Structure 1
Amino acid sequence: MYTIMAIKLSPRNKIAPTVQEILTRYGCIIKVRLGLHEASVDACSASGLILLELLGDEKNQIIKLTEELNSLEYVTAKLLEI
């Protein structure tokens, strides 16, 4: 089973440092992290998406991480188990 979290940040630049701080605290349960945002030579998107693969057996930590992220303005975190 895979435990995947999708985190949407908008505006990305305003909230990213706080999200980074939270992710660092939960770093031991994060197996894979991928950050996505639109970027070009002329512009950088105001919104971003972070995808995480989490250690599925750490349910309490995953719940705490999700709640902490969702408590922030400009952040939405969703879990998917497949």
Structure 2
Amino acid sequence: MAIKINNRNIDAPKFQELITKHGCIIKTRLGIHEVDNCAKEGLIILQLCGKDEDIQALGEEINSLDTVKAKWMKLDF
């Protein structure tokens, strides 16, 4: 799942609550943002494991936040 946060100052605390709530399906989390100016935007990549419905529920909850957009895909190798 790739997540773009457009205003970290506003939605980061709510986003963190959701990540904690769904922590059992998150295997890896990678956060990327500019540190020189402490940018408002950020990109987060999650490696998820679990049932499709649990992953979809997480994505829908994240997308309910005002300045956050999540997209997910399933890679079967």
TM interval, shorter chain, is: over 0.9
1:36 aligns with 2:32: yes
Aligned partner of 2:55 among 55, 62, 66: 62
Provide the residue aligned with 1:76 in structure 2: 69
- Tell me the percent identity: 49
Aligned residues: 75
For 1:80, the aligned partner's letter is M
How does the TM-score come out when normalised to structure 2? 0.92
CA apart distance, 1:76: 0.1
Q: Helix, strand or coil for the counterpart of 2:4?
A: strand
Provide the residue aligned with 1:15 in structure 2: 11
How does the TM-score come out when normalised to structure 1? 0.87
5 Å-filtered alignment, 1:45-56, equals: 45-55=39-49
Structure 1 unaligned spans of 5+:
none
Stretches of 4+ aligned residues off by more than 3 angstroms: none
Structure 2 unaligned spans of 5+:
none
RMSD: 0.9
Give the strand-richer structure, 1 or 2: 1
